[in-house]
Amino acid sequence: MSDKKSKVTDKASEIAKNIWLAGVGAYGKAVEDAQGRLEKVGMEPPKLFRELVKAGSALEDDARGALETTAAARSSVEERINRVRENFHMQRPARIEDLNALQKKVDQLTRKVDKLSKALADQGIVKAAAGRKAAAAAKNKVATKKAPTRKKASSRAKSTTSKRKA
């Protein structure tokens, strides 16, 4: 427990150092803010002291909260980097690695389709092995036929709406 705590404080002091080095001064910000508030209100010393303590503990909460959010922020940045990378790879001139990666994906998809069609066949009416195979093939045919017609229909719908708009 205490070990974990010291780890957290280590991390905290390192972050603080980084921030300080960066000339940002998040700690400075809170003090600055508190000072600004105090100047505005013109508070007497005892109240000022209480206010400072309050600001201090709020600061502590902020710092603790910041530690928790850094992990989330990090993963969000990494996630976005991954998205940009994918996007970039789609746009750049194709390389052998890209083609290989694509081939791998196609292979994976093919395996999935095979599995799915097998599952479909298994679910279907239990027939003789040969009949099952034929049924699966027929189902596949229907599926492949269906897709393009649906596409056509939607593109037709689109073109009519755009005509209507015009």
Tokens of 67: 């530690």
Compute CA distances 125 → 70, 122, 130, 134, 137, whole Å.
55, 8, 13, 12, 14
Considering only 1, 21, 128, 129, the residue that binds another protein (CB under 8 A) is 21
Considering only 42, 45, 46, 93, the residue that binds another protein (CB under 8 A) is 93
Contact positions with another protein (CB under 8 A) in 27-86: 29, 32, 69-70, 73-74, 76-78, 80-81, 84-85
Considering only 8, 12, 15, 59, the residue that binds another protein (CB under 8 A) is 15
Contact positions with another protein (CB under 8 A) in 145-164: none
Asked if 5 and 22 touch (Cβ cutoff 8 Å), the reply is no
Q: Rounded to 5 degrees, what are φ and ψ at 72? A: -65, -40
CB closer to another protein out of 94 and 113: 94
Compute CA distances 117 → 120, 121, 130, whole Å.
5, 6, 15
Chain positions contacting another protein, by CB under 8 A: 15, 18-19, 21-25, 29, 32, 69-70, 73-74, 76-78, 80-81, 84-85, 88, 91-93
